[in-house]
């Protein structure tokens, strides 16, 4: 049986001409109903970029 809780797994993705990089994290869907946007390090571009939730 699956656990029933407020936390769900999400995927954060950054796309650019050089390629795609993804991070996996969790969020509380009761407190954060909209899609996440976080600034994280992208090894593809070697800079901090904005990652957006895709799942």
Q: How many CB atoms lie within 10 A of CB 32?
A: 13
Q: How many CB atoms lie within 10 A of CB 42?
A: 20
Query: What is the 3-state composition of the chain as percent helix, strand, coil, each rounded to the nearest 5?
Result: 0, 60, 40
Domain ranges of the chain: 7-53
Distance from C-alpha of 50 to C-alpha of 52, rounded to nearest angstrom: 7
- Indicate yes or no: pTM above 0.75: yes
Tens-digit pLDDT profile for residues 34-54: 999 999 999 999 999 999 999
Tens-digit pLDDT profile for residues 15-30: 999 999 999 999 999 9
CATH fold of 7-53 reads Rubrerythrin, domain 2 (2.20.28)
Give bridge partners of residue 9 from the DSSP assignment: 26
């Amino acid at each position: 049986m699956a656990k029933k809780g407020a936390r769900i797994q999400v995927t954060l993705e950054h796309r650019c001409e050089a390629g795609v990089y993804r991070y996996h994290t969790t969020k509380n869907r009761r407190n954060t109903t909209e899609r996440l946007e976080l600034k994280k390090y992208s090894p593809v571009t070697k800079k901090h970029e904005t990652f957006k939730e895709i799942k």
